[in-house]
A and B are shown apart, each in its own frame.
Chain A
Amino acid sequence: MKVVSRRGHNPRRIHVLAFAALMTLLSGLGGCGGGSQAPDFVFLVGAEPETIDPATVSGQPGGRVDRNIFEGLAFNDPTDLHATPGMARSWDVSADGLVYTFHLRDAVWSDGTPVTAADFVYAWKRVLEPATASKYANMLYPIAGAEAYNRGDLTDPAGLGFRAEDDHTLVVTLHSPCPYFLQLCCFYTLLPVPRHVVEAYGDAWIKPEHIVSNGPFVLKEWILSRHVLLAKNPRYWDAEHVALNLVEGLTGDNINANFNLYMSGVLDWADASAVPLFVVPELRERPDFHVAPYFNTYFYRFNVTRPPFDDVRVRKAFYLAMDPSDITEYVLRGGQVPAHSLVPPGLPGYHEAHLPGRNVEEARRLLAEAGYPGGKGFPHVELFFNTSESHKQIAEVIQQQWKNALGVQVELVNQEWKVFLATTEAVDYWISRGSWIGDYLDPNTFLDMWQSTNGNNRTGFADPGYDALVDRAARTLDPAKRMDLLHQAEDWVLNKEMIILPVYTYVVQNLYDERDFTGLTPNLLNLINLKSVVPLRGHRGRPRNTDLRPEAAAARTPAAPGSG
């Protein structure tokens, strides 16, 4: 780059720079793909998915994409989440609840290859293969032989409890009855994968140029940190009822930026990843803000092996000194509910354990009994949480509550995500923030994690009695008895041992304008089912009304479909 010129004239240098800039500009902008066709629907995927391979997906973003491009034996009904026939048009359950026979419909992959029972056998075996390193292999553990195979104890796949009797019949044998097994069949880990594609391309099979799927949409394009493009799959068995042709899923994890995209009309649907904490009260007055209960609890873990929290009285004192309503009413303000249990309320057939609620005198009494009257002599303890605005705000409020009620100063430590994970996993903390989304609609998902062998425990709590209780519940046939045992387990974790501090139950927060689309229902698992979304003539694509006056909000009643 020789810039010497006879005249050494500055403007020339600027011309060179401008020219260079123009060239990079052209290449940079032109290089970005993007269909020439405009999408009918734009939704927020969330953070960039690490993968969309059903065997290794973990987390909502990847799941969100997978559930719309693949279809499993069943899928969650958009409104009440019950298992609706998908690839399996019907199923029979044996009287003892151990054998499920799935009758598959005639369906094909997007390249025309038929979907057979063997695809499910292949996919599930692949999940359980130790080399695949699936994070959700435990979803298959109710099946006979699955856990042993996954742990490497069983090496002969013939010992696995699922087999393809013929192309359209899949027979699954469980090791003990599992009332929520059909729910599990809706989960993304149990989705089928196209064997011929996976074997041909290996890890790269999920790329848009290779991938083949059996769901209502196919992956047309995937640009990291930007978007996924899903095109309607004409070979889907129910394609005639799929109303959308091209769907764009935006990826991004900055809440304010996502919110801006929604308010400017770019996003048609978004969830809590686009709801800034500051404006929640204003949002609640808008008709396009939809709230529903969420199967998700926010809690603090105690390290029960490290003093002073190895003393259950101290743990209970900390619970009794806390007032989560301060947080739900003043920090979150989105309709969240202070938690009185670990399992979120509302599960049919189950009544959760009940915590007593705030009691400052009792808290002080317990703390004194444990040897720290008025907080005197209380050792230095820290509360760890990962970097996030809301975690920080919540922790600050609770820290203050502990200080006022107990005279104890807990230090807040904001940890970067990986460090936080590492310290929590290593049980190297005093108090650590946590949360848990139920994977399926059954209390067991919140309770088996506290077993001593479960890697999600991370509290140091290990009680063989508890392990046995949860195992017994898993083998109990009678539903009522089973729910009772699970209730006992929850009670153990909370009222007896208080190994965790439930703080609040999340709510699902969805942003969408129902004048523009039907088929979008906020549900307990925060799922979005694109195949049931139907566009109406509406205002999509235009910036939304930022006017917040109550009259203006009331005036905007949803228009009847077709009236535009």
Chain B
Amino acid sequence: MSGKPRETRLEPRGDTRREPLARLGREDPLDHTLEPEAGVGFWRDAFRRLLKSRMAVTGAVLLIVVVLATLLAPVLTPYGFEEQDLARQLEPPSLQHPFGTDLAGRDLLTRTLYGGRLSLAVGLVATLVSLVIGVTWGAVAGYKGGATDNVMMRFVDMLYSLPFMFFVILLVAYFGRHLILLFLALGAVQWLTMSRIVRGQMIQLRGQEFVVAVVALGAQHRRIIFRHLIPNLLGPIIVYATLTVPAVMLEEAFLSFLGLGVQPPNSSWGLLAADGASSITAIHTAWWLILFPGLALAVTLFSLNFLGDGLRDALDPKLRNR
């Protein structure tokens, strides 16, 4: 995680290919001594670096494949995801059923593909929710410091100290099981951690000389936060976001294990994995019921993590020099 600010050296950087950044509309005369902000060239550079990392590319490709597969599910399988065939229950993988069938005779490949839609949606939406709220909150709190920080983080503490499980159980029990609720509830829990991480990094950052300098120059706070500081935080933000998606997906699985997540006949990888886990016993295991949803989940999470790692490496110029 690039929590440390970049050094404020005055000598030229190692990579002399970097052209002077287009500095349209910026007034700060001392900018060239500061961190180059996230201007156009920076991102192009980052993208190039990303493409060079094999891990990241693999991750991205796998992710695209998975997403496409779930979207194209109706085309890829002849079965409906609700279609039961009790005569063919609990069959191991075969030509007609590449992933086998479950207790009700439903084709597991179909259910895995359709379930993926829900899992990916949960992961994406909840993470986005948590990102938007968490970053803003944490950055503002960490930057302002003092009483504002105190109040804001105490609020976070308050929410944090509310046992998540509790909160979601009651929410689900009271308002019924609507998917939107699930997304919001899961996202609402994750933003807290994001905000604390961002705030922690922000606290370190704001003690840096360059921030002091910019403040002394009279730059507006908002500009400082969004133009100078947050880009420095992009590293940990992105890394943590890619760590959040699996966390959310696993939390959804946890809820499904308790019967509070996605409801039948809908399915998600979490629910499929939970069902599959209940089939692991000492005398008999329908291994396909746990393997394939588990693999789908794992592959997706792996690719997200590879991508996240690649992004982190790409966005952290310090690593450029190696």
Contact = CB atoms under 8 A, between A and B. Distances in A.
Contacts of A331: 103-104
Interface residues of B, number: 28
Interface stretch (A72-80, A81-89, A126-134, A387-395): A387-395
B86 interface: yes
Interface in A254-289: 255-256, 259-260, 263-264, 276-279, 282-283
Interface string B86-109: 110110000000000001110000
Interface stretch (A348-356, A412-420, A431-439, A452-460): A412-420
B280 A256 contact: yes
B173 A412 contact: no
Contacts of B173: 416, 418-419
A326 B86 contact: yes
Interface string B73-90: 000000000101011011
Interface string A406-450: 000000111010110000000000000000000000000000000
Nearest to B286: A278
Q: Is the interface of B mostly helix, strand, loop or mixed?
A: loop
A330 interface: yes
Contacts of A282: 283-284
Interface residues of A, number: 34
B265 interface: yes
A260 B282 contact: yes
Interface string A374-394: 000000000000011100110
Contact of B89 (A330, A392, A548): A330
Contacts of A255: 278
A278 B90 CA distance: 9
A416 B283 contact: no
A476 interface: no
B259 interface: yes
B151 to A, nearest CB: 26
Interface in B92-142: 103-105
Given A396-B264, A416-B172, A387 B278 contact: no
Contact of B169 (A283, A326, A388, A416): A416
Nearest to B265: A396
B2 interface: no
Interface string B279-302: 111111010000000000000000
Nearest to A393: B103
A141 B260 CA distance: 40
A396 B84 contact: yes
B233 to A, nearest CB: 25
B110 to A, nearest CB: 15
A279 B284 contact: yes
B264 A279 contact: no
A563 interface: no
A195 B112 CA distance: 61
B258 interface: yes
B259 A414 contact: yes
Interface in A147-173: none
Contacts of A412: 263-265
Contacts of A283: 283
A546 interface: yes
A416 B174 CA distance: 10
Contacts of B169: 416
Given A414-B177, A414-B263, A414-B264, A330 B86 contact: yes
Contact of A276 (B87, B104, B172, B278): B278
A400 B284 contact: no
A389 to B, nearest CB: 6
Given A326-B86, A330-B89, A416 B259 contact: yes
A397 interface: yes
| Among A259, A264, A416, A419, residue most surrounded by chain B Cβ atoms (within 10 Å) | A416
Contacts of A276: 278-279, 281
Contacts of B284: 278-279, 282, 548
Nearest to A280: B284
Given A259-B282, A263-B283, A278 B103 contact: yes
| Among A278, A279, A416, residue most surrounded by chain B Cβ atoms (within 10 Å) | A278
Nearest to A264: B282
A178 B173 CA distance: 43
B172 A259 contact: no
A277 B281 contact: no
A263 B172 CA distance: 36
B167 to A, nearest CB: 14
Contacts of A277: 103, 278
Interface string B251-288: 00000001110011100000000010011111110100
A25 B278 CA distance: 30
Contact of B259 (A263, A264, A387): A387
B179 to A, nearest CB: 14
| Among A255, A392, A395, residue most surrounded by chain B Cβ atoms (within 10 Å) | A392
Nearest to A390: B103
A234 B142 CA distance: 70
A382 to B, nearest CB: 11
Contact of A416 (B82, B105, B260, B278): B260
Interface of B: 82, 84, 86-87, 89-90, 103-105, 169, 172-173, 177, 258-260, 263-265, 275, 278-284, 286
5 contacts: A256-B280, A276-B279, A397-B104, A414-B177, A416-B172
Minimum-distance CB pairs A-B, first 9: A387-B259, A330-B86, A263-B282, A278-B279, A279-B284, A546-B283, A282-B284, A279-B281, A416-B173
Given A278-B90, A396-B84, A412-B263, 16 more contacts: A263-B281, A263-B282, A278-B103, A278-B284, A279-B283, A329-B86, A330-B87, A330-B89, A388-B259, A397-B84, A397-B104, A400-B82, A400-B84, A413-B177, A416-B172, A546-B283
